[in-house]
């Protein structure tokens, strides 16, 4: 559940990136936060033994929509 919440936050952060110009500090902060959340959500899910099927579907949706 925690890992899924992190993934949902990454979706929101990725959408926020569209509000900022590419070379602005705000854009890079969002980009950094999205990258960090991408690295830690899988680790947290494995450590807590959370279901990976739902997270896998969400991840595929994110990649196909271009938010990664």
User: What is the pLDDT confidence band of residue 24, given thresholds at 50, 70 and 90?
Assistant: very high
Q: Is the model more confident about 34 or about 3? A: 34
Task: Write the CB contacts of 55 (distance below 8 Å, at least 6 apart in sequence).
Answer: 3, 4, 7, 41, 42, 45
Average pLDDT, the chain: 82
Percent of the chain topping pLDDT 90 = 25
C-alpha span between 27 and 31 (Å, rounded): 6
How far apart (Å, rounded) are the C-alpha atoms in residues 20 and 57? 28
């Amino acid at each position: 559940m925690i890992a899924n919440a992190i993934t949902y936050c990454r979706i929101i952060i990725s959408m926020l990136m569209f509000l900022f110009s590419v070379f602005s500090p705000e854009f890079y902060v969002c980009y950094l936060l999205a990258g960090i959340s991408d690295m830690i959500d899988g680790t947290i899910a494995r450590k807590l033994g959370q279901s990976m099927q739902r997270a896998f579907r969400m991840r595929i949706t994110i990649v196909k929509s271009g938010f990664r």
